[in-house]
Amino acid sequence: MIQPRMLLAACCMALMSSLHAADGGASRADAEAMVKKAVAHIKSGGDAKAYADFTAKAPQFIDRDLYIVVYRNDGTVLAHGSNPKMVGKNLMELKDIDGKAFVKERLDMAKSKNSFWQDYKFTNPETKKIEPKQMYCEKLSDTVVCGGIYL
Q: Cα-flanking dihedrals φ and ψ of residue 119, to 5°?
A: -110, 140
Whether residue 150 has pLDDT greater than 50? yes
On the question of pLDDT at 22 being above 70, the answer is: no
Whole-number Å distance between alpha carbons of 79 and 57: 10
* Residue 5 predicted with pLDDT over 70: no
The answer to whether residue 17 scores a pLDDT higher than 70 is: no
* Distance (Å, whole) CA 85 – CA 29: 28
CA distance 76 to 69: 11
CATH of the domain at 47: 3.30.450.20
Is the per-residue pLDDT at 23 higher than 80? no
Task: With H, G, I as helix, E, B as strand and everything else as coil, classify residue 119.
Answer: strand
DSSP 85: G
Taking the model in full, what pTM does it have? Answer: 0.83
Q: Give the domain range for residue 80.
A: 4-150
For position 2, what pLDDT does the model report?
A: 47
Q: Structurally, how many domains does the chain consist of?
A: 1
Instruction: Report the distance separating Cα 26 and Cα 50, nearest Å.
Output: 21
